[in-house]
Chain A
Amino acid sequence: MKNKMSFLLLSLIALTLVACTEKEKEAELTPEKEMETELTLEKEIEAELSLEKDTFQVVEWKPDNSNHEENVGKLTANGQAVVGAVVQISDKRTTETDEKGEFTLTLDANMVEKNTIRVVDLDDATIDGEALSQEEKEKIGQLETVMSVHHPIVIDEVVTNEENSDLVNVHAQAITVEGEKYPKFGVEKFSVAGVIKNEDGTPVEGGTVNLRRDGVEGFTMSDPSNEKGEFAMYYIPEDDENHYFYVYHEGITYTLPPRKTFLFPDENGIELSIILPSEGTVIKDEPPTLVAQTAPGALFKGNLFGLNTDADYLISIPKRDGTFTVTLPKTAWEKNPSFYQIMYRKFHEEAIQPGDILKSSIIPDPVVSEPDEIIPMQNS
């Protein structure tokens, strides 16, 4: 794909004649002049919102933030600069076009993402010193373009699946910058989940479990428990170490007995059963008021690829060298599906790691800010 790509929105805009509001002059038009007007009305406005570069390869984070790359955009109409237009970058920053119709923006090439750049305000915009007509505003205001940061994909080999000849195994590689590796996929946090109940066994809704490191910074908290008293949060202690343990409910903070702290492991999740006292605010640190069990699984996180196809498929988690495989129906592959790249973040009871194969049913669709049209290249 060429780096320089323009997203053109061609619009037919009837040019607003200055004279058109001047009825007196309108009345004076001769048939010849009317013909001229019709010709002018047929003139097209070619409006363009373009970027110097619309595709960026993911790079590793650099201490000097040189992974931030500058890009220049340009807004024109009929080849003339649209000056003073407000352009928004992915619902974040807004900026104005300068006298050349240009604007600069910075993107973080360390983050897999798709940025949408759109024109959001033309009230103060001008073309050749003149304010825009309503029609021009409407048409130019619809312009948008995208800028994608992702790993380019190269298809190394496509072979027929040995077990099912209707399927093919696509051996692909996410291309990284020389000397860099594909981002590591792995555990982000372990889960701390469980149930909060009252002494009479009724579930406590709206309770929050809160862990805080002893003596130094560090904390986490759960979302409020649901109607069944269930809560969940993810946490990764620095090491196995002690924590203050609180349950907050309806303005009351429940704690462990004085000088008691909770030792959390740093390599596993846990499941907790908590019973709040009917009197006082101290949770007895013994069963049945406080019971903990090891819990399998963890929250896994990393960049994965998905395929834009209706067919079911299997796809592996890319290894650090970027290699991965896709197994899918041959008919689906022959339709040349594009890929998308996402930040995957999901709880798995069983550990998963680079090279493991995932079903397409668990690969989420890309959200609007994730690259969704990655055209693979063939390894020549």
Chain B
Amino acid sequence: MGVKLKIALILLLSIFFITACQSDEPETKQEEAENKVEETETDTETEIEETEPKTEEPAEPTYTNWTTFGYDLGLNRHVPFEEITAENVSELGLVWSKNFKEINENIPNGNQNFPLVVDGTAYVTTSGNFVYAFDALTGDVIWEWEPPAEITETTERMGMPTSNRGVAIGEGKVFMLTGDVGLVSIDQETGETVDFIHLSDYYPSLTPENGYYETTAPIYYDGKVFVGSSGGDNGVRGFEMAFKSSDLTPAWDEPFWTVPPKGESWLANGLFGGGGAVWMPPSVDEETGIVYFSAGNPAPDFYGEKRPGANPNTNSVIAVEADTGKLVWVKQQMAHDLWDYDTADSPSIVKATVDGEERKLVIVGTKASEWFAYDAATGEEVYGNVLFGKSDHPTPTTEGVLVYPGILGGQNYAPDTFDPELNLVLIPGIEEPSIIKVAENEEEAQNNDFSEFFGAMAFGTSYAPAPEGIEGYGTVTAIDLNDGTIKYQIETNEIMRGGLTSTTTGLTFFGELSGKIKAIETETGEVVWDFQTTGDTISAAPSFFEKDGKSYMMITSAGSQPQIFLFALGGDKSQGESAEADSEDAHTGE
């Protein structure tokens, strides 16, 4: 290096420092910091022993977070936490709980929220689109996002379920779909609204008046927020869409519409037809940038005459490019469905051992009690129609037929979990038949004198619960990915509505409609722990997180007094009423 260059560099560096010295706030802080160091150094010289603690930085807590709906973008719901084991699970107890209605009396009944926890803050929604940031360790409310009156007014007028399954988090914002078919971004720190759009701002047909509504959690990935909707049985046109997380403007030019518009293709003749709603969050393969989502049943649900053919893309897993929404592949699980057997559950992306070799699969269970596995890249079927529940569903008649599974499934929205160490997927199932019947034929309909029908008809024509004497129950089914066979199946007291979460220590946790939380051994299905909460009708799966290596489990309950609970080893073992032990060493109720 020449002398001149050296001089020039020195000059440049001098200029840089002079410039840096002219900046204001950071410099002030830097000065303060320097001053502190100097003071400390002075102290060090005089009082060494006293100074030592002052020179140590306070230890920053470390967290392992639950940042998206299914723990990871592949929706595996499997955490690598090692603290809670089969040996110590009996020491799990309550750290805190909150009754949502005691926080805000306007919160409606029910709760299907799957909490997210980031750096010690839990982000939780309720029915009716209230959002809370809790101190995850204490339950203190950090901020509350109350839904604007327009959301509440619209959802109340609709008289439809106001369930909400949670938020997505990214770029310092919390994203939620609102019941009036809106999408909001909320400042993660302050709880202030950043952007709020209605999907109809860009795609005018996506309105509550047309039958759309929202219960699903969005997914954040790579600057985009992925959304679907409810409403398939209202004859709406199902879709998946991506919005930019920066400003909630469209990230794709067009939604991926799962079914044709009315008047075309297999909907050429049916007035009511539609369906293919994307009820649940998509999974995302970060390695390939492919998004996978499940599309629900065709509409009309029980009446197929006016929707001829397979009704492609309904009851299907659909893979699209995350950047464009362009189709990669689609696989249908049930063609021309007549029983409302949605593919409701989100597809999960798993790395599994198949016939001795590792493969990346997309797996999904359906309301028809069937399970499928596809090659993630090509959609090639690896396992198909693996039955995990009773299946007997004759074509619906005007007299009514008893069908297995019933209207709830099968596997409904409750998510499964995949344990890669055991190479097992565990599926939450519902064993509860229904009676379904189609209405009278069109000729009879045309001869109706409508005034005769006011209030004169008995309750229910198209759907009814199972006859007395047939009790519904739930199942957990473990399928070995190596050969696609069922390794075991256990029965649960209630139908499975919440879903499963597993740990690397070989445990799988779930809540039940009784308000009980259970842990089973993932490998065997043996119940090793249960805990009666004070909550009702648990309708979501637990989320786990760690602080400083200690594991915590968070779960919501529904019913008329919706609550949220945090559990950890060493917590309070006091249980709610009506506890009935389902495991040998389970706690008794107090």
**Chain A residues with a Cβ under 8 A of chain B:** 60-61, 63-66, 68, 89, 91-94, 105-108, 110-111, 183-189, 208, 210, 212-221, 223-224, 233, 236-242, 244, 246, 248, 251, 253, 256-257, 259-263, 265-268, 270, 285-286, 290-294, 301-302
The answer for the CA separation of A240 and B451 in the assembled complex, in Å, is 14
User: What residues on B are CB-neighbors of A265 within 8 Å?
Assistant: 445, 448, 450
User: Do B327 and A212 touch (CB < 8 A)?
Assistant: no
Is B326's CB within 8 Å of the partner chain A? yes
Stretch from B87-95, B245-253, B366-374, B495-503 that touches the partner: B245-253
Asked if residues B159 and A248 are in contact (CB atoms below 8 Å), the reply is yes
The 4 closest A-B pairs by CB, nearest first: A285-B455, A217-B233, A239-B439, A215-B463
* Known contacts A61-B257, A220-B211; A294/B450 CB under 8 A: yes
Within 8 A of A (CB), among B423-443: 438-440, 442
B330 engages A263 (CB within 8 Å)? no
Q: Which residues of A contact B453 (CB under 8 A)?
A: 262-263
Given contacts A216-B340, A259-B459, contact A65 B263 (CB under 8 A): no
With contact pairs A65-B257, A184-B263, A210-B157 given, residues A236 and B235 touching in the complex (Cβ less than 8 Å) = yes
| Alpha-carbon gap, A285 to B454, bound state (A) | 6
Binding site for A on B (CB under 8 A): 156-160, 202, 208-209, 211, 230-235, 249-254, 256-257, 260-265, 268-269, 271-272, 299-303, 312-313, 324-327, 330, 340, 407, 438-440, 442, 444-446, 448, 450-451, 453-464
Docked complex Cα distance between A221 and B257 (Å):
24
With A106-B324, A216-B301, A286-B455: A239-B440 Cβ-Cβ less than 8 Å: yes
Partner of A292, one of B159, B303, B450: B450
Closest beta carbon of chain B to A67's beta carbon, Å? 9
15 contacts between A and B (CB under 8 A): A60-B260, A68-B254, A89-B253, A93-B249, A107-B254, A213-B462, A215-B464, A221-B157, A224-B157, A238-B299, A238-B303, A238-B439, A266-B445, A294-B450, A302-B263
Contact of B265 among A60, A260, A285, A286 (CB under 8 A): A60
Additional 20 contacts, C-beta under 8 A, given A216-B463, A286-B454: A65-B325, A68-B254, A91-B202, A186-B271, A188-B271, A210-B157, A213-B233, A216-B462, A219-B158, A220-B211, A221-B208, A238-B301, A239-B440, A248-B157, A248-B159, A257-B455, A259-B459, A266-B442, A290-B454, A301-B263
* Nearest chain B residue, comparing its CB with the CB of A115: B253
> B294 to chain A: closest CB distance in Å?
16
- Closest beta carbon of chain B to A56's beta carbon, Å: 13
B256 in contact with A65 (CB, 8 Å)? yes
Interface of B is mostly: loop
Q: Which residue of B lies closest to A212 (CB)?
A: B159
Residues of B within 8 A of A266 (CB): 272, 439, 442, 445
Q: Find B209's partner among A63, A183, A220 (CB 8 Å cutoff).
A: A220
Determine the residue in chain B with the shortest Cβ distance to A95. Answer: B253
CA distance A294 to B235 in the complex (A): 23
Tell me the number of A-to-B contacts counted with CB atoms below 8 Å: 202
- A183 close to B460 (CB less than 8 A): no
Asked if A214 and B272 sit within 8 Å, CB to CB, the answer is: no
User: What are the residues of chain A within 8 A of B160 when measuring CB–CB?
Assistant: 212, 219
CB-based contact A183/B249 at 8 Å: no
**Chain A, Cβ-Cβ closest to B310:** A63
Scoring B202, B440, B445, B450 by chain A CB atoms within 10 A of each residue's CB, the highest score goes to B450
A215 surroundings in chain B (CB, below 8 A): 407, 460, 462-464
Contacting residues, chain B, for A60 (C-beta < 8 A): 260, 264-265
Residues of chain A with a CB closer than 8 A to B263's CB: 183-186, 301-302
Residues of chain A lying within 8 A (CB to CB) of residue B264? 60-61, 110, 183-184
Contact residues in B for A63 (Cβ distance below 8 Å): 312-313, 330
Query: Is B327 touching A64 in the complex (CB atoms < 8 A)?
Result: yes
Question: Which one of A111, A216, A302 has the highest number of Cβ atoms from chain B below 10 Å of its Cβ?
Answer: A216
Tell me, in angstroms, the Cα distance from A323 to B453 when the chains sit together. Answer: 43
Residues of A near B260 (CB, < 8 A) are 60-61, 110
Q: Which of A186, A189, A214, A267 contacts B442 (CB 8 A)?
A: A267
Given contacts A65-B257, A241-B439, contact A189 B271 (CB under 8 A): yes
Distance of A238 Cα from B281 Cα, bound (Å): 27
| Residues of A close to B445: CB separation below 8 A | 239-240, 265-267
Assess the B232–A217 pair: CB atoms within 8 A. yes
Roughly how many angstroms separate A290 CA and B159 CA in the complex, as a whole number? 20
> Inside 8 A of B450's CB, which chain A residues have their CB?
263, 265, 268, 270, 292-294
Q: Which of B235, B254, B301 has the most CB of A within 10 A?
A: B254
Question: What are the residues of chain B within 8 A of A291 when measuring CB–CB?
Answer: 451
Given that A208-B157, A219-B158 are known contacts, is A292 also in contact with B454, CB under 8 Å in the complex?
yes
Instruction: Return B533 CB to nearest CB of chain A, in Å.
Output: 29
Inter-chain contact A94/B209, CB cutoff 8 Å: no
CB atoms of A65 and B326 under 8 A apart: yes
CA gap between A265 and B450 in the complex, in Å = 7
The CA of A254 and the CA of B456, in the complex, are separated in Å by 18
Given contacts A184-B263, A214-B459, contact A92 B249 (CB under 8 A): yes
Most chain A Cβ neighbours within 10 Å, of B253, B268, B451: B253
B316 to chain A, nearest CB (A): 9
C-alpha gap A56/B227 in the complex (Å): 28
Chain B residue at minimum C-beta to C-beta distance from A285 = B455
Contacts of B438 in A (CB 8 A): 239
Contacts of B340 in A (CB 8 A): 216
Tell me, rounded to whole Å, the shortest Cβ–Cβ distance linking A188 to chain B: 7
List residues of chain A with CB within 8 A of the CB of B301.
Answer: 216-217, 238
Cβ of A242 and Cβ of B262 under 8 Å apart? Answer: no
What is the minimal beta-carbon distance from A189 to any residue of chain B, in angstroms?
A: 7
Contact yes or no, B460 A242, CB < 8 A: yes
Distance A106 CA – B323 CA, assembled complex (angstroms): 12
Instruction: With A183-B264, A237-B272, A239-B303 as known contacts, state yes or no: A92 contacts B463, CB within 8 Å.
Output: no
Known contacts A92-B253, A105-B253: A240-B157 contact under CB 8 Å: no
Is B463 a contact partner of A110 (Cβ separation < 8 A)?
no
**Smallest beta-carbon distance B289→chain A, Å:** 16
- Do residues A217 and B231 form an inter-chain contact, with CB atoms below 8 A? yes
Q: Which of A105, A107, A218, A233 has the most CB of B within 10 A?
A: A218
B458: chain A residues within 8 A (beta carbon): 259
Which of B232, B271, B327, B445 has the most C-beta atoms of chain A within 10 angstroms of its own C-beta?
A: B271
Chain B residues whose CB sits within 8 angstroms of the CB of A292 once the complex forms: 450-451, 454
- Please name all residues of chain B whose beta carbon is closer than 8 Å to the beta carbon of A105 when the two chains form the complex: 253
Is B448 a contact partner of A242 (Cβ separation < 8 A)?
no
A186 CA to B202 CA in the complex, in Å?
26
C-alpha spacing A252/B232, complex, angstroms: 28
Q: What residues of A have a CB within 8 angstroms of the CB of B209 in the complex?
A: 220-221, 223, 233
Residue of A nearest to B232 (CB): A217
Shortest Cβ distance from B316 into A: residue: A63
> Are B462 and A68 interface neighbours, CB within 8 A?
no
- In the assembly, what is the distance between CA of A187 and CA of B235, in Å? 14
**Residues of chain B with a CB closer than 8 A to A256's CB:** 455
Question: Using Cβ atoms and an 8 Å threshold, which residues of chain B touch A93?
Answer: 249-253
Q: How far is the CB of A370 from chain B (nearest CB, A)?
A: 12
Collect the chain A residues with CB atoms within 8 Å of residue B300's CB.
Answer: 238-239
User: A262 touching B233 by the CB < 8 A rule?
Assistant: no
Complex CA–CA separation, A292 to B458 (angstroms): 19
A205–B128 CA distance with the chains assembled, in angstroms? 25
Complexed CA–CA distance, A293 and B454 (Å)? 11
Contact A214 B463 (CB under 8 A): yes
Q: Which of A233, A265, A286 counts the most chain B CB atoms within 10 A?
A: A265
Determine the distance from Cα of A167 to Cα of B319 in the docked complex, in whole angstroms.
Answer: 55
B158 touches A221 (CB 8 A): yes
Q: Measured between alpha carbons, how far is A297 from B471 in the docked complex, in Å?
A: 46
CB of B271 within 8 A of CB of A236, answer yes
The reply to whether B407 and A263 form a contact with Cβ atoms under 8 Å apart is no
* Centre residue among A237, A270, A294 by max chain B CB count within 10 A: A237
Residues of B contacting A184 with CB < 8 Å? 263-264, 268-269
Known: A184-B263, A184-B264. A293 touches B451 (CB 8 A): yes
Chain B hits for A183, CB < 8 A: 261, 263-264
Given A64-B330, A107-B253, A210:B159 Cβ within 8 A: yes
